[in-house]
Amino acid sequence: MSTSSETLPTIEELQRELSEKKQHIYALEKANKQLEQRVRSASETAGEPASITELEETLGRLVARIAAILQAEKCIFMLYDQNRSELAASRPAFGFTDDEISKLKVKVTDGVSGQVFRESKPVIIYDAATDDRAVHENVALLNVRNGACVPLIAEKRDEENRVVERNTIGVIHVFNKRYGNIFIEEDINLLERLAKNASAVIQNAQVFREVVEEKQELEHIIESVYAGLMMVHKDRNIMQMNTSARHMFGIKATDVVNKPYYEVIQDRKVKDMIARSLDSDEETAEEIDVVLPDEPDEEHIYQAQSALVKGESGSTVGAAIVFNDITEIRNVERMKTAFVSTVSHELRTPLTSIKGFISTLIDDTEGYYDKATQHEFYTIIDTECDRLVRLISDLLNVSRIEAGRALDLNPSSVTLPPIVEKAVSIQRSYTNKHDLVIDLEDDMPVINADADKIDQIFTNLINNAIKYSPEGGEVRIVGRKGEDGGVQFSIIDQGMGIPESHLPKVFERFHRVDNRDTRKVGGTGIGLYLVKHLVEAHGGKIWVESEYGKGSNFSFTLPKDIPLQQEETK
Ligand code: ADP
């Protein structure tokens, strides 16, 4: 830095200044080496990276040193942002407020920064108020009078330390506001030398930031995946365990990292599995049963799979274990097996009865049975055949829905009371234990619907109300006018009711409440599934309220008209 011409420095002063500067440069090179080492360790999986704050501190010291060496009042880096084609001031800077830093930006085509960046050549600003380039960049607003700006050039070197690539990554500014403290060529040479070191530091810092950000991003992804995930280092300590995995094992603490897995996890199967993977370099899979802390009544089935994590040299660093909740899959499989056996049973019962009565009639060559008894037998055969047809058409409808096709609707103007009365009278003929009561509001509206399907809905719900009230009691069918010319019905029984945990599931296919009471009642678990689809195909809603041991209330609504969408999917 030159001082004003009247006070020319002595040789001793210059020598002292030079030796000070040499020391600063030496310190700077040392800091850079340390930083390089940190970055290297941060890129390695096992290494503990230095924090971003530490890095910023190093960069902060760097700008302060540069300012000190050049006797500048302010020093700032402006880094190239490729996406925006601009140079933006970067933190930390020396002598600038955070607000100034965030506002200092310029397009690469403009200003003094743009020129230095594009041409990769230094520039001295003698007067920020009159220099066009500086005016363009609003340099004077920074309360400075003169400055120097040199490019930040990052060099890539090969193994023999030869420069193989040079990249301009930004510019560095030093400023002074005092009049007379003009920067000269010598300062530029010094600044260029410092800029070389600074570029290396900045580049290292950028790589470091990227590594840290990538690591954080990965941790966030792992943390938020639905499956349980944990990673165990070969030294037996947990490297990571996401929320789902911690929840699965009922672990409240979040600081399980670096703790031995066998102290954190209690499940024997999982512990054995991890030990096997780490000891024998083997990838394993297990099915484990877990009772989640917030669902103590239900057992969840998880499929645990371990995979080995290899380091760059190919040796095992640890193991990653993924836990997938397969409870639903297993339940559906179980339900399907149960369904096949109940359907076989449901098919066999009417067939056995049909075959029995037909054989009896064929064998009666002597005319032992009178006309009335024969008629009774034929009626039973007829009813059982109807039951078979119903069951088979239900099965076909289920497969239709499963295939994603809508149920066929054949809409017409439907007067509801006669449909209810017919369905009730048929169901009444099957029971003498139950009191079937029809309670309909006067002037029930006529709606646009498929009469057969509406009949199917009532038949199914009233039949269930009877089936699941083995002790008898009242079955009440309540009908009221609903919103916008629609209707609402409720089928209320005093039967066995439905346990609360099953309430959300009774409309699922194959779902049956499995207990001592229901086991005696025949069924396939597809009735309510179809009823729900039929109601929804009409644009209505269905729901259930029930008190276990007291009775159930199945309610549904039907609108005045079938919504367009449903009609179109026919
Ligand atoms: P299912 O052929 O088994 O009757 P549904 O789909 O009609 O099949 O009913 C599913 C399950 O819901 C039944 O197995 C039964 O456990 C329960 N359920 C249905 N209706 C009633 C009711 N009115 N009272 C008590 N439980 C019922």
Q: Per DSSP, what are the bridge partners of residue 440?
A: 479
Compute the distance between CA of residue 463 and CA of residue 490 in angstroms, rounded to an integer: 14
Give percent above pLDDT 90 in the chain.
Answer: 45
The tens digit of pLDDT for each residue in 466-508 reads 999 999 999 999 999 998 899 999 999 999 999 998 998 999 9
Q: What lines the ligand 1 site, CB under 6 Å?
A: 464-465, 468, 493, 495-498, 506, 511-513, 518, 523-529, 552
Structure token digits, residue 280: 């024998």
pLDDT averaged over every residue in the chain = 85
Lowest mean pLDDT among 64-73, 334-343, 502-511: 334-343
**Probe ligand 1: pick from 342, 390, 459, 498, max atoms within 8 Å of CB?**
498
The two three-digit tokens of residue 492, written as one number: 């209320």
Confidence at residue 381, expressed as pLDDT on a 0 to 100 scale: 94
- Residue 396, both tokens: 């076909």
Residue range 274-284, pLDDT digits in tens: 999 999 888 88
pLDDT of the residue at 13: 66
Q: Taking residues 258-276, what's their average pLDDT? A: 91
Distance CA 507, CA 527 (A): 8
Q: How far is residue 63's CA from residue 399's CA, in Å, rounded to a whole number? A: 73
Picking from 260, 269, 213, 217, the residue whose alpha carbon sits closest to that of residue 241 is 260
pLDDT digits (tens, 9 = 90+) for 399-449: 888 888 877 889 999 999 999 999 999 899 889 999 999 999 999 999 999
Summarised one tens digit per residue, pLDDT across range 378-398 is 999 998 998 899 889 888 888
Residue 139 vs residues 91, 104, 143, 175: alpha-carbon distances, Å: 17, 9, 8, 9
Q: How many CB atoms lie within 10 A of CB 247?
A: 14
Query: What pLDDT does residue 41 have?
Result: 47
119 vs 255 pLDDT, higher one: 119
Check pLDDT > 70 for residue 568.
no
Question: In sequence order, what are the residues at sequence separation of 6 or more whose Cβ sits closer than 8 angstroms to the Cβ of residue 338?
Answer: 510, 512, 525
**Residue 89, token pair as written in the block:** 């001031």
Mutate-to-test residue for ligand 1 from 347, 394, 401, 506, highest number of ligand atoms within 8 A of CB? 506
Residue 19's pLDDT is what? 65
Q: What tokens were used for 271?
A: 């512990």
Higher pLDDT, 224 or 12: 224
Pick left, alpha or beta for residue 27 (phi over 0 → left; psi -120 to 50 → alpha; otherwise beta).
alpha
Confidence of residue 262 (pLDDT cuts 50, 70, 90): very high
Distance 520 CA to ligand 1 centre (A): 12
